Structure 1
Amino acid sequence: MVTLRHQISRLLMAGTLAVSMIIAGCSSSEKEPQASSSATNATAAAETTPAAEAQEQATETPAQEAQAVTLLTPKAPSLIPALLAADKPTDTIELKIETWDTIEQLLARIQNGDAAFIAAPLNVGSNLYAKGLPVQLIQVNTWGSMYLISTDTEKQTLADLAGETVYIPGQGGPPDTLTRYLVSEAGLDSDIELAYSTIPDMMQQLAAGTIKHAVLPEPVLSGLRMKLAGKLSEVVDYDAAWQKAFGESLPQTGIFVNSEWAKTNKEAIAAFQSQYKAALEESIQPGADLTAAAEAFGMPEAVLTQAMGKIMLAFKTAAEARQETDHYFDILLKMAPESVGGKLPDDGFYYAP
């Protein structure tokens, strides 16, 4: 069997992770030698009961092969439980993990219909649904896990950033929209300038000291924190700010199912939900094995372990997370309608078993 660690190494070299564990069971039984006398044959026949025949048939019938399904996920916190789940296959599904890097890649895979499950930011799923693509939200698993930080440790609040520039990963996405919302609510629209870059570029510039303030997600932020020996100020914890404003957590990432495939695979979906939930709960326990995830992220396991304290992983089905998700979409719709596809998703967006 190809080990999970070997497959992670292939992911780092080729950009694609394939965890493939084939489960097939087959039992064989030897026949008893036939007795030579007719009396013995008669006795054996009399002792053969329907229950014994059923047991013999069950022994000779091969175990049903698990259904192979693919989960596409970005290299984000949703990948952590996914790898643990794939390493513990069930009798129902055999989970294969592959990663996507760009929306174009994700769109092509969805159009090809070759992935049953897709992990993506919630607003991305809403956009895909608005475009008529066959996606339905089945769960939310990542909440908050995003921070506005400063290398100037004297900066502690948004008000302290007046007259400064904050760098954000990409224009028009949730980090941008949520930052603009918080800045506006604080009455600092004209005082804080927002600029846009990529996460790798921001990480380099923060480490070099050429920029001071940026919005970064975990677990990459913990890598920077370790590189700078902790000399960072956490100006805004987006989940804490959301909690303070609305009394609920900030939903960020979920898993979607191909709605066409879902029509005839409800048992597989239920098995996936159960398997992923168990893996998520395992991943947040002290001492959880994060080796495979650390390799996939390309960071030391010690850094990822530290980051787990700042990553909020919590499993909620689409129905359970509906209130938080609708509220999140409502804010995005008001601030940047295009970020959710121009309208709130209807009931069909939420998978119902």
Structure 2
Amino acid sequence: MKIQTITRTVLAALLVLTMSSCRQAAPKLSESVEIAAMKGPTAMGLAQYTTESLEDQGETPVSYKIMTMPDEVVTDLLQGKLDLACVPANLAATLYNKSEGKVQVAALNTLNVLYFATNNVELTDLSQLEGKTIYSTGKGATPDIILQTLLAKAGLTIGTDVTIEFRTEATEVAALLQAEEGAIALLQEPFLSSVTMKNDKIKAQLNVDELWKQYMGADSQIVTGVLVVRKDFAEANKAWFDQFLLDYKASAEWVNQNPAAASKMIETQGIIGAAVAEKAIPNSGITLISGEAMQKALAPYLEVLATNNAKLVGGKVPAADFYYIGK
């Protein structure tokens, strides 16, 4: 497992003068808190908070780390070694089911990161994919379900009207897109930004979030990442946790508004390189949505995933107590 712990020394050194110092003091915790984030866009919105705040917790011990292996995050949450974690949306549902309701989702932190990209070819509508090959990653996983759903809504049959070639890693899809003129790929950030920096003929042509709203309804939402919390921790530390959500929201907003400064923090935390991060931030769906708005957006999305592949959400759609509303 690759884990990068953010130390007090690094946190104190990073761009402190560029950030607001008027954050409300967090209520004292009844216990220490262990926070983790999966490497990638899911971790990016928390960068300002973890840079500015974790080193100033007074008597409250707070630890933060970047993790790369989903199975390790699951194990640590289920064993109580982690209290909060930024994870893929479908993994949150799996955690709820595996823990029998002991892990809740508290906020959406990453919306859409997927785009149809092409190498030197125009693409303005899904109907133009007829007779084409699309490179993608994640066969049977979330990107595959999104792709299947959109193509079906557009009246395209996979295997007849359009061909999908899957690769195991997004880096493989990016390499194919870069090497093959005329190639079309479904590719996520930050891999899209990375490859467009290497080849100016590669363009993001269709925003998958816009397509999702077009075919699934204006209020529909793709949810890539979420914040989960152990239920007993949230109950024991409600005042601290509710303030943390406010601080996280401020951090996500700051990252979106200050991509150049935020990208340096993101690189220091070992998430992705600064140059790629700065380019990717505007297209990475960084947000913090909690409460009823979170439930309204996430519940229908999980229903779509479960209908197509129930294993993606741990066997079944979570019940209403999956959602930490915070009232």
Deviation at 1:228, TM superposition (A): 0.7
1:15-51 Cα distance to aligned partner (Å, 9 max, x none)? 32222449xxxxxxxxxxxxxxxxxxxxxxxxxxxxx
Aligned counterpart for 2:210 among listed residues 235, 240, 246: 240
| 1-structure distance, mates of 2:315, 2:67 | 24
CA RMSD of aligned residues (A): 2.6
Q: Paired residue for 1:351?
A: 324
Instruction: Kindly name which structure, 1 or 2, has the bigger radius of gyration based on alpha carbons.
Output: 1
Conservation of the 8 A alpha-carbon contact between 2:51 and 2:265:
no
- CA distance 1:68–1:82, shift in 2 (3 Å): farther
Alignment partner of 1:154 is 2:125: no
| 2-structure distance, mates of 1:210, 1:96 | 46
Conservation of the 8 A alpha-carbon contact between 1:73 and 1:120:
yes
| 1-structure distance, mates of 2:120, 2:211 | 21
Q: Paired residue for 1:132?
A: 99
Conservation of the 8 A alpha-carbon contact between 1:136 and 1:349:
yes
Aligned counterpart for 1:104 among listed residues 71, 74, 77: 71
Letter in 2 for 1:109: D
Alignment partner of 1:264 is 2:218: no
Q: Paired residue for 1:83?
A: 47
Conservation of the 8 A alpha-carbon contact between 1:155 and 1:233:
no
- TM-score (norm. length: structure 1): 0.77
| 1-structure distance, mates of 2:322, 2:148 | 27
Q: Paired residue for 1:202?
A: 173
Conservation of the 8 A alpha-carbon contact between 1:86 and 1:96:
no
| 1-structure distance, mates of 2:48, 2:88 | 20
Secondary structure of 2:288 counterpart: strand
1:274-310 Cα distance to aligned partner (Å, 9 max, x none)? 22111111111145432021342342x3332222221
Letter in 1 for 2:4: L
Deviation at 1:317, TM superposition (A): 0.6
Conservation of the 8 A alpha-carbon contact between 1:66 and 1:91:
no
Q: Paired residue for 1:170?
A: 138
Conservation of the 8 A alpha-carbon contact between 1:156 and 1:234:
no
| 2-structure distance, mates of 1:264, 1:106 | 22
Q: Paired residue for 2:156?
A: 188
| 2-structure distance, mates of 1:181, 1:115 | 34
Deviation at 1:320, TM superposition (A): 2.1
Aligned counterpart for 2:199 among listed residues 217, 225, 228: 228
* Higher RCO, Cα 8 Å, sep 6+: 2
Letter in 1 for 2:104: Q
Q: Paired residue for 1:283?
A: 255
Letter in 2 for 1:244: Q
Alignment partner of 1:305 is 2:251: no
Q: Paired residue for 2:2?
A: 15
Deviation at 1:139, TM superposition (A): 0.5
The answer to which of 247-256 and 148-157 deviates more is 148-157
- CA distance 1:297–1:65, shift in 2 (3 Å): closer
Alignment partner of 1:117 is 2:118: no
In structure 1, runs of 5+ residues without a counterpart are 1-13, 23-63
1:91-146 Cα distance to aligned partner (Å, 9 max, x none)? 47554322222332222212321111111111111122122353100101211121
Q: Paired residue for 2:289?
A: 316
Identity rate of aligned residues, in percent?
22
Letter in 1 for 2:204: E
| 2-structure distance, mates of 1:66, 1:79 | 25
Letter in 1 for 2:72: Q
- CA distance 1:211–1:199, shift in 2 (3 Å): farther
Q: Paired residue for 2:189?
A: 218
In structure 2, runs of 5+ residues without a counterpart are 10-27
Conservation of the 8 A alpha-carbon contact between 1:158 and 1:235:
no
| 2-structure distance, mates of 1:65, 1:194 | 50
- CA distance 1:204–1:94, shift in 2 (3 Å): farther
| 1-structure distance, mates of 2:232, 2:181 | 49
| 2-structure distance, mates of 1:179, 1:171 | 10
Letter in 1 for 2:319: D
1:186-241 Cα distance to aligned partner (Å, 9 max, x none)? 11113112222111222222222289222221122111111112x12434311111
